[in-house]
Amino acid sequence: MSDSGALDELYKQVILDHYRSPRNRGELSAPAVRAVGHNPLCGDEVIVSLVIDNDQMITDIMVSGSGCSISQSAASMMSVAVKGQTASAARETTRAFKEMMSVHEDSLETDNSNRSNIESAAPGHHLGDLEALRGVVKFPVRIKCALLSWNTLLEAIDSAGNSDL
Ligand code: ZN
């Protein structure tokens, strides 16, 4: 399958690009909320800090941490995807991303073309660079690496919801 080979190569480039040139890298100071996520299986750490304004909009987000290329590039992609979204839209994007990963995993054995499955699992969601991470599910141990920043994002959003915003 030369097509999927070329696609894998493209995805690899996207992941490496985010790993080498991480977007929104750093930490925001108060009043930003902050959450720290760990993936002990791989030794990854992701720190998400974000600001949610009175309209529930994520006006700023930064990520830091250390770990494998998958965890860190996924964190970079996540920050780009949800910056400027509302908190509820970011939850929905998280859901779509997790769905994409699990749909791909389920259909890995039988279906070489998952795009239509992804469209139906997450209609109207253009995950863009995030789709590069679909290749990760070929390595199940790495799925936790890809999901770490998203779970940490949800934690940060939840803690923002608990403040008096
Ligand atoms: Zn990892």
Is pLDDT above 50 for 110?
no
Tell me the CA–centroid distance for residue 70 and ligand 1, in Å. 6
Tell me the CA–centroid distance for residue 138 and ligand 1, in Å. 14
Distances in Å between the Cα of 86 and the Cα atoms of 37, 56, 129, 155 are 21, 5, 20, 15
Tell me the CA–centroid distance for residue 160 and ligand 1, in Å. 26
The pTM for the full model equals 0.82
Contact predicate 20/137, CB 8 Å: no
Q: Specify the range with the lowest mean pLDDT, choosing from 8-22, 26-40, 73-87, 125-139.
A: 125-139
Per residue in 32-85, pLDDT (tens digit) is 999 999 999 999 999 999 999 999 999 999 999 999 999 999 999 999 999 999
To which residue do tokens 């039988």 refer? 110
In 3D, which of 62, 46, 50, 59 has the Cα closest to residue 150? 46
Residue 125 has a pLDDT of 59
Residue 49 has a pLDDT of 97
Helices marked H in the chain: 2-20, 69-82, 87-107, 115-121, 143-162
Ligand 1 (ion): which residues have CB within 5 A?
42, 44, 68, 71, 145
